Amino acid sequence: MAVVTERHDARGGGSGTGFGGQQPKAVQKALAMLEAVAYLGAGATAKQIAAHTHVPPATAYRMLNFLVADGFLVRVPDLSGFALGRRTSELAYAATGSEPVRTVKNVLDAMREQTRHGLYVATIRGGTVRMVDVDPDHEVVSAPTVMRNPHAHAVGKLMLAYTPRAVDDLELRAVTAHTLVDGRSLHDDLTHILATGMSFENEESRIGRAALAVPVRTRGSDVVGALCLQGVAGRVAPTNSDLIDFLVQGARELEGLL
């Protein structure tokens, strides 16, 4: 007697994830990966997710691709990791029946309607900068560029301030004539960042450009990311109280989302 099985297409009907009903363990692993991204935060890498879920890397990569294809996960802009996607937020909203779940994207979209400056969000976990949401209307420096010379960038200096061990082997190269290349001056700058909760870059990575960055925290107050605003030197400055208030309020809105 012929056995008829239902075919599930990853882009069509069926489960919508490429895993059929005859594969409960695969479904469990896929759900565990969603939980892992929620726990590890935006920018979690495939390697980190595989280790967290105890799934072989090859299997993890395949499942992550299915979850991205169906909108449950998205890749962060620099393609270094993953974040929760639209369909995951929709499920949470449907389950709670309350207000739509806040995401980094909708917080940043609302902020961008209020300023002409460039805005972006990055994670700064483990002494590494990863871009989570970059401004589509402004040229934003890439995470690898920041990591090459973190002492020259507002978000990089914020990372150094909250990850002291990252300073140990740092080579203080001059990117511009304004870059801090003296160890004592950088130490004073990082101490000031910790005291004020604000990082400032003034033509240190590019002539004519300035940037401000403030920390983004978890619900438990651990610093895990940065909200950065960049624009023309002279217009973006730590003396501009309106810009500072704008960034601090934005960081509060982002609390717990990274």
Instruction: Give me the pLDDT at residue 106, please.
Output: 86
pTM (predicted TM-score): 0.66
Instruction: Give me the pLDDT at residue 17, please.
Output: 44
Where in the chain are all domains bearing CATH 1.10.10.10? 24-96
Where in the chain are all domains bearing CATH 3.30.450.40? 104-254
Residues 245, 222: Cα–Cα separation, whole Å? 20
| DSSP 8-state symbol, 55 | -
Residues 98, 18: Cα–Cα separation, whole Å? 30
Which CATH number does 24-96 carry? 1.10.10.10
What residues in the chain have per-residue pLDDT under 50? Answer: 1-22
Residues 103, 225: Cα–Cα separation, whole Å? 14
Which CATH number does 104-254 carry? 3.30.450.40
Which segments within the chain are labelled E, that is strand?
Answer: 73-75, 82-84, 118-123, 130-133, 199-202, 209-217, 223-232
The first and second tokens of residue 85, run together, are 């996607």
Amino acid at 125: R
